[in-house]
Structure 1
Amino acid sequence: MDNITALGGEVYEIDTRMAGYSGITAGYLILGDRPCLVETGTSTSAPIVRDALTSLGVGPADLATVVVTHIHLDHAGGVGDIARFYPEAEIVVHEKGARHLADPSRLMSSARMVWGDKLDTLFGELSPTESSRIRALGDTGTIDLGNGRTLSSHYSPGHAKHHVGLIDSGTGDLYVGDAAGVYLPQTGDLRPATPPPDFDLQTALGSIALFESLAPQRLLFSHYGPVGNVAETLERSAEELRVWVDLTRRAHSEGMDLDHAVAMVRERTRERYAALKDDDGTAEQFELLSGAPSNVAGILHWLNRVQP
């Protein structure tokens, strides 16, 4: 299948084809003794992910674990569907997200407020998962991949209060979710993801420092793909956060409303990203994943809390 890439170490990247786009959201299958899916993608992506798993030899009774870095719909919107397709799989999530997978009604209504009519085409509907199948993680936790190999979970809020990073003892791969930002392999661009309501600068920088301390061999971005240059990339993640926060803070101190703040930050950061100079849809992809309105709104929300 053309949406599967072997990454070595029995790890396979699956393009979940979010909203029909390629290269936007990745799920990862760790095959091994106890197959584990990291990130499900959206609900509308679930059949695509199932087909990919089938082609890799993982049948309905074979998947041992599904783990999500956090419960935003581009990462976990397919959990209910995937749980139904794979009735033996345990669903693993941070304890602050567990109840929303069991009862998604609040999560879906707040997502509908943000996305409106776009919700159905972009994400679809997160179906509930039986709470008996959900394992809620604390600040750390371990997922058994079989044969002594583990996936260790590390609480990494800042992007979202229910976010974890996951490190594979077999490969040294660190699944960063959105805590290190959004990476575009076509251009090498990296941009922060700072949506409301949970963004907090010190917490976000703390999560990046935690990732550095885990000394991973490789970063696996949910958006999008593997990056081998670990130290430089995490350093850049922190720098990007500071740039966006400094600019938004300036807009905030000048009393700008959201629209004017977004326009100013967009203008002042444009030169940082090759994607925005392309006219091949790459810029549209970037805006969908790490849109200036969402990023600036998240930073303003935080600023209003810490320096009203």
Structure 2
Amino acid sequence: MDNVTPLGGDVYEIDTKMAGYTGITAGYLILGDRPCLVETGTSTSAPVVRDALTSLGVGPDDLATVVVTHIHLDHAGGVGDIAGFYPRAEIVVHEKGARHLANPARLMASARMVWGDQLDVLFGTLSPTDASRIHALGDTGAIDLGGGRTLNSHYSPGHAKHHVGLLDSATGDLYVGDAAGVYLPETGDLRPATPPPDFDLRTALDSVALFGALGPQRLLFSHYGPVADVTATLERSAEELRVWVDLTRQAHTEGLDLDHAVAMVRDRTRERYAASTSDDEAVRERFEMLSGAPSNVAGILHWLDTTKPEA
């Protein structure tokens, strides 16, 4: 299939074709004795993911585990649908997100407030998962991939309070979710993901540092794809967080409202990213969808308003 890319180590990247776009959100299948899907994508992406798994020989009774890095709808919106397609699969999520997968009403209502009518087009509806099938992770945990191979979870908030990173014991792959930001493979750009309401700078930087301390061999971004230069990429991730916070703090100090703060930050970060100056409108549009300046600035302003952090 054109949306399945082998990455080595029995790992396959799946383009979930979010909202019909390519290169927005990746899911990953780890094949082996106990096949595991990392990230489902959105609800509307669930049939795309199912077809990809079928093409890789994973039938309805074969998938052992579904694990999500966090419960934002571009990562976990398809959990209920995928759980229905694969009735034997255990659903794994951090304990702070587990109840929302069992009863998504509050999560969906919150998302509707943010996205309005766009919600249905971009994400669809997260269906509930039977609570008996959900395994809630603590700050660390291990997922059995079979044959002595494990996927080890590490609590990594800052982007979201229910976020985990996942380290494959066999390959050294670290599934970073959104905690290290978003990556655009066409240009090599890396930009932070700092949406409200959970963003916290210190916690986010601590999570990036934790990722480095785990010593991964490769980073697998949900947005989007594999990156082999681990140290430089994590250093850039921390740098981008500081740059966006410093600029947003300046706008906040000057009393700018959200629209003016976004305009200022967008203007002053433009030259940092090749995608921002690309002649390819599709690349520019995808980068903004992956890590929109309004969402990033709003999350940082919310943090500034609620915590009154020191400079």
Q: Shorter-chain-normalised TM-score: which range?
A: over 0.9
1:84 paired residue number = 84
Aligned to 1:272: 272
- For 2:143, what is the secondary structure of its paired residue? strand
Distance in 1, Cα, partners of 2:192 & 2:175: 16
Residue type at the aligned position of 2:296:
N
**Letter aligned with residue 305 of structure 1:** T
Distance 1:303 1:83 in 2: 38
- What is residue 300 of structure 1 aligned with on the other side? 301
Mapped to 2, the partners of 1:36 and 1:225 lie a distance apart of 17
The residue correspondences of 1:1-308 to structure 2 (distance < 5 A) are: 1-278=1-278, 279-307=280-308
Return the letter of the residue paired with 2:271: E
1:241 counterpart letter in structure 2: L
- Which string of whole-angstrom CA distances, capped at 9 and with x for unpartnered residues, describes residues 103-138 of structure 1? 000000100110011100100000000000000000
Distance of 1:58 and 1:291 partners within structure 2: 35
CA distance in 1: counterparts of 2:115 and 2:289, whole angstroms: 11
SS in structure 2 at match of 1:281: helix
Provide the secondary structure at the position in 1 that maps to 2:281: coil
Q: Secondary structure at the match of 1:233?
A: helix
> One-letter code of the match for 1:177?
G
Distance 1:94 1:266 in 2: 33
Letter matched to residue 305 of structure 2: N
Q: Secondary structure, in 3 states, of the residue corresponding to 1:159?
A: coil
Q: Distance in 2 between matches of 1:177 and 1:196?
A: 16
Secondary structure of residue in 2 paired with 1:13 = strand
One-letter amino acid of the counterpart of residue 302, structure 1: W
Name the CA distance, whole Å, in 2 between partners of 1:176 and 1:106.
Answer: 26
Aligned-pair identity in percent equals 83
Q: Deviations over 1:181-214 (max 9, x none)?
A: 0000000000000000000000000000000000
Give how far 1:306 is off: 1.9
Q: Secondary structure at the match of 2:194?
A: coil
Local SS of the residue matching 2:136 = strand
* Counterparts of 1:121 and 1:287, CA distance in 2: 17
**C-alpha offsets along residues 2-23 of structure 1, whole Å, 9 cap, x if unaligned?**
0000000000000000000001
Q: Supply the RMSD in Å over aligned alpha carbons.
A: 0.7
- Shift of the alpha carbon at 1:31? 0.3
Unaligned runs of 5+ in 1: none
State the 1:254 CA deviation. Answer: 0.6
SS of 2:165's partner is strand
Q: Structure 2 CA distance, aligned partners of 1:38 and 1:219?
A: 13
CA distance in 1, matches of 2:29, 2:76: 15
In 2, the alpha carbon distance for the partners of 1:262 and 1:277 equals 17
1:255 is displaced (CA, Å) by: 0.7
Distance across 1 between alignment mates of 2:20 and 2:108: 21
SS in 2 for 1:175: strand
Question: Partners of 1:118 and 1:272 in 2: how far apart?
Answer: 29
* Cα distance between partner residues in 1 of 2:194 and 2:308: 17
Query: How far is the alpha carbon of 1:288 from its aligned partner?
Result: 1.1
- Letter matched to residue 287 of structure 1: E
Between the aligned partners of 2:285 and 2:161, the Cα distance in structure 1 is 27
Report the alpha carbon displacement of residue 280 of structure 1 after superposing the two structures with TM.
3.0
The one-letter code of the counterpart of 2:300 is I
* Structure 1 counterpart SS, 2:152: strand
Q: Which runs of 5+ in 2 are unaligned?
A: none
The TM-score with structure 2 as length reference comes to 0.98
Calculate the TM-score normalised by the size of structure 1: 0.99
Letter of the structure 1 residue corresponding to residue 196 of structure 2: P
The one-letter code of the counterpart of 1:14 is I
Q: For 1:297 and 1:24, locate their aligned partners in 2 and report how far apart those are by CA, in whole Å.
A: 21
Shift of 1:281: 0.9
